[in-house]
Structure 1
């Protein structure tokens, strides 16, 4: 009998030990400070917001440097955002080759994927005007990081951009150029077969008229043109004080180079398409004297810009340009909206959170959207001097 009692006590003690162990391994415990501490499983479970973002970028063709910079800026931001652990973003990247039709095909492919929350791109305004109406119709947010033509955010409620429009950048550059030079007469040259360059021209013409400047001549060219001597001869013969050029960097750099070789020495004022190191690479010393408005000055001593330059160079072996910086900020703006929306699956919730973005502190400065989804931020005017972009000094 005693043997059985002893066995019973051993079994009871074993059961109590198991019970105590189980209680001690519950999901909360008390740390040395007396505070409740959640287990790692509970702390991370369900809190990382997963989101799939489509990207339409100009990755092949004459202007591929734009798309390359944009996608590299996005990927750098993606890496940093995902490492922080609050949001995990997957990028699905499609090449538009700078063509509206191919951009539409890429956009339709992305929109048909229900797992994709939102889209970034396309690169050019012409492409964006073709894709954005479909995105708005499908209720999927689309944001341009390099699209600066007038009327883009007005396309619809789901359409945004974080790139400074030509309507802000060009007047800022023109005002500083006229103040420094005392210019009274300007000549204009622009590409008449592209929405971006046509929009820049409209801003240049309107601003010149508002400033009381005489427009001596207006010359046009087509995308891919290589010889501008006829247009530049007419410009030279009118003896302007400034030349206003609305062009992408590949044509714009050639225009400046040929102008200098023909003896046109007055400053050029360009639109956003000139904000690329490629202008200096193509035109060399001829690029000196180019003045542009931009949200990004790469040689700034601002610690945020210095750190961004360092990280970008470590990752890609070269300095970033405006397009890389705007794309980098764009993905952070998306990540911020994701956190406020609390989901990576609800397209409407994400759109509403994005629209409420105000005073977001990016590397380009404080950023907000206005009531139609357009940019609210400051413009910096820069010029090319001694073969590099420097901050404009009056």
Structure 2
């Protein structure tokens, strides 16, 4: 199909209804006529903290919706992609063999860039909770992919804006992963915004998957350059190594990360006290006091024994966005993938969804699939996220 050319301006305000969990772990419809929703993400490997939380949170949302007993019921199917593009393609094909009609995925950007063209060709409506790369909603001129997370360009530019407005003349160093599109995209947009604002970037260092355990050279160079703020557009695993090695070197800049660093407090073999004072740009804080957040966090903790991260909150919002889109479009589970996909594409720009990750406001989408919501900064204090 052609790229979406329409932009509907009327918004239908639709409140998310939180229902009590029905007590069953099954996500299947009681009448056998359920929408089959696939989830693809890393359930094992270094990024498992993201994919596992996405799958768990999606299950909570599905159970809530199914417990309402309405005509819209979901069956959730999950596949592990270990944050690998080729494995993610295999996971997608397995889900299609099992009858997938809607895709919540992938969790991370690099696999998404391989899976999205397949979903476009098959006309599977796709909503990704956390694959934030700008290309995810643009590759092959697709029209069927929508994001719950804000884009890498938004993260990068808003990080620079926040730092410029809240720190006095910081001397900035950047360490990013140069074989990861997620990290590259955020870095590029951060640097563009920082340069436009006349901010001082005194050092840039890079690393790859093969070298993400030793950062002594980069940290020593950043310290020598006089950097007092270290911007880290990376995931929590290398970030935890950077914080540990900086502490060993006696280097104590302000650390500023993005949504990929969510989860650092529970990183394996990491002293969480080293994350004190770290800033993150994230749309979700488990310590927020609003009723929606507390209901979700309580259910997650009761079911899985730990606190959910931002990726889980994005997934929860993704399921409820699907729910409201299906309501608005009037589609049924016995329709073809293409019929469902085309109908949901048409209604998505009309939705206004209040979710866990919309900071009390509403998420809306443009005709290209990008979500409109503002990232907010939190700081880690006493092992929790707080608003500065």
Q: Using structure 2 for the length normalisation, give the TM-score.
A: 0.84
C-alpha separation in 1, matches of 2:145 and 2:369:
7
In the alignment, does 2:195 pair up with 1:221? no
| Deviation (angstroms), 1:390 | 0.9
User: Residues 385 and 183 (structure 1 numbering): CA distance in 2 closer, same or farther, change over 3 Å?
Assistant: farther
> Higher helix share goes to which structure?
1
Match of 1:38 in 2: none
Work out which of the residue numbers 376, 384, 387 in structure 2 matches 1:388: 384
Q: CA RMSD in A?
A: 2.0
User: Residues 183 and 354 (structure 1 numbering): CA distance in 2 closer, same or farther, change over 3 Å?
Assistant: farther
In the alignment, does 2:332 pair up with 1:343? yes
- The one of the two structures with greater contact order (alpha-carbon pairs below 8 A, sep at least 6) is 2
| Deviation (angstroms), 1:237 | 0.5
C-alpha separation in 2, matches of 1:248 and 1:223:
11
C-alpha separation in 2, matches of 1:65 and 1:276:
7
SS at match of 2:206: strand
| Deviation (angstroms), 1:279 | 5.7
In the alignment, does 2:89 pair up with 1:104? yes
Match of 2:273 in 1: 285
Match of 1:253 in 2: 240
Q: Using structure 1 for the length normalisation, give the TM-score.
A: 0.83
Match of 1:302 in 2: 290
In the alignment, does 2:150 pair up with 1:164? yes
Q: Deviations over 1:77-128 (max 9, x none)?
A: 1111111122211112111011111001111232345x32111112210110
Match of 1:81 in 2: 65
SS at match of 2:34: strand
Match of 1:134 in 2: 118
Larger Rg: 1
Match of 2:127 in 1: 143
User: Residues 193 and 303 (structure 1 numbering): CA distance in 2 closer, same or farther, change over 3 Å?
Assistant: same
SS at match of 2:101: strand
| Deviation (angstroms), 1:180 | 2.8
C-alpha separation in 2, matches of 1:295 and 1:184:
24
| Deviation (angstroms), 1:338 | 2.0
Name stretches of at least 5 consecutive residues in structure 2 with no aligned partner: 1-29
- Kept after mapping to 2: 8 A contact 1:277/1:321: no
Match of 1:265 in 2: 252
User: Aligned pairs, how many?
Assistant: 346
C-alpha separation in 2, matches of 1:49 and 1:339:
15
Match of 1:183 in 2: 169
- Kept after mapping to 2: 8 A contact 1:172/1:381: no
Q: Deviations over 1:341-386 (max 9, x none)?
A: 3212332343344332321122223111112011111222111123
Work out which of the residue numbers 41, 47, 50 in structure 1 matches 2:34: 50
State how 1:228-247 maps to structure 2 within 5 Å: 228-247=215-234
| Deviation (angstroms), 1:48 | 9.0
